[in-house]
């Protein structure tokens, strides 16, 4: 992800491949440069992130 981000620069979007199943994986992928995530676990990932932030 970091290499891809460096190659395309900041103006082009970078989508992470599917398979992201946990909030920690999602955050690590975003930190590595992804703009969008491929996941079939969107609901559970967002629920856990909201819980961690005290929103739920």
DSSP 8-state class, residue 49: H
25 pLDDT tier (thresholds 50, 70, 90): very high
Work out the pLDDT band at 18, boundaries 50, 70, 90.
Answer: confident
| Residues 6-13, mean pLDDT to the nearest whole number | 92
**Rounded CA separation 12/41 (Å):** 25
**Which sequence spans correspond to the domains of the chain?**
2-52
Is residue 56 very low, low, confident or very high in pLDDT (cuts 50, 70, 90)?
A: confident
Single out the residue of 32, 29, 42, 33 nearest to residue 13, CA to CA: 33
Among left, alpha and beta (phi > 0; psi -120 to 50; other), residue 47 is: alpha
Sign for the CA dihedral angle at 41, 48, 56, 15 comes to negative
**What's the predicted TM-score (pTM) here?**
0.81
């Amino acid at each position: 992800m970091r290499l891809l981000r460096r190659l395309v620069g900041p103006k082009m979007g970078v989508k992470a491949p599917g398979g992201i199943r946990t909030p920690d994986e999602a955050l690590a992928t975003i930190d590595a440069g992804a703009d969008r995530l491929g996941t079939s676990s969107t609901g559970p990932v967002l629920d856990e992130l909201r819980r961690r932030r005290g929103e739920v």
